[in-house]
A and B are shown apart, each in its own frame.
Chain A
Amino acid sequence: GQSLEQPSEVTAVEGAIVQMNCTYQTSGFYGLSWYQQHDGGAPTFLSYNALDGLEETGRFSSFLSRSDSYGYLLLQELQMKDSASYFCAVRGRGNTPLVFGKGTRLSVIA
């Protein structure tokens, strides 16, 4: 089976940096994806790591350590619009579906 763990909630101040962690237990791991979802909206792809290390896309960075079965999403220069749920998801081989964590609800406060 596959399981992912994420903190349920995080609160951070506008302009600050926040890190959201994800640990996973899975077989057939091919990569870790991150999705953002605003209330009532669709999950939107943010980042993907197949190999160890850091991937950077603008204000968003994602890190993966395959040996530790651990990853995180880093958001810099937080904005109010970043308030949303952030899901990590494990990708298996080929066309297999994503397995999502329970998500971390980020609240950005002034």
Chain B
Amino acid sequence: AAGVIQSPRHLIKEKRETATLKCYPIPRHDTVYWYQQGPGQDPQFLISFYEKMQSDKGSIPDRFSAQQFSDYHSELNMSSLELGDSALYFCASRGGTSYEQYFGPGTRLTVT
């Protein structure tokens, strides 16, 4: 079965640079979530989209923005990167009446 795809899997950036993370949800899933997970931490919700519209907003810094495109893939844009942005970034998708969120493999962002 198709799973959530994220790219890139690893990304190394320097402080003050920008980064773009991509997420391709499971086909026919209408909701996409972005989570940030620091070392030894639980996943923290950043932002979500339902049917290409922003649905909920969590602890997403103003330096970050996200959108969902017509083909349902989503991108998380991160600017003015800081050392503290180093983390695993997960995308999850959910479809229909299912309560289960399916997580992608994550993008490991390292800011040096």
Contact = CB atoms under 8 A, between A and B. Distances in A.
Contacts of A42: 90, 103-106
A95 B42 contact: no
Interface residues of B, number: 26
Main secondary structure of the interface of B (DSSP, over half): strand
A57 interface: no
A102 B33 CA distance: 19
Contact of B101 (A41, A98, A102): A98
A35 B99 CA distance: 13
Counting chain A CB atoms within 10 Å of each CB, the highest count among B42, B90, B103 belongs to: B42
Contacts of A60: none
B99 A50 contact: yes
Nearest to B41: A102
A95 to B, nearest CB: 5
Interface string B33-68: 101000001111100101000011010000000000
Given A97-B48, A99-B45, A44 B103 contact: yes
A35 B101 CA distance: 10
Interface in A19-34: 30-31, 33
A97 B104 contact: no
B102 A45 contact: yes
B22 interface: no
A71 B101 CA distance: 19
Given A97-B33, A97-B45, A48 B99 contact: yes
Interface in A67-110: 87, 91, 95-103
A43 interface: yes
Contacts of A101: 42
Interface of A: 30-31, 33, 35, 40-45, 48, 50, 87, 91, 95-103
7 contacts: A40-B108, A41-B106, A42-B106, A43-B92, A48-B99, A91-B99, A95-B55
Interface of B: 31, 33, 35, 41-45, 48, 50, 55-56, 58, 88, 90, 92, 94, 99-106, 108
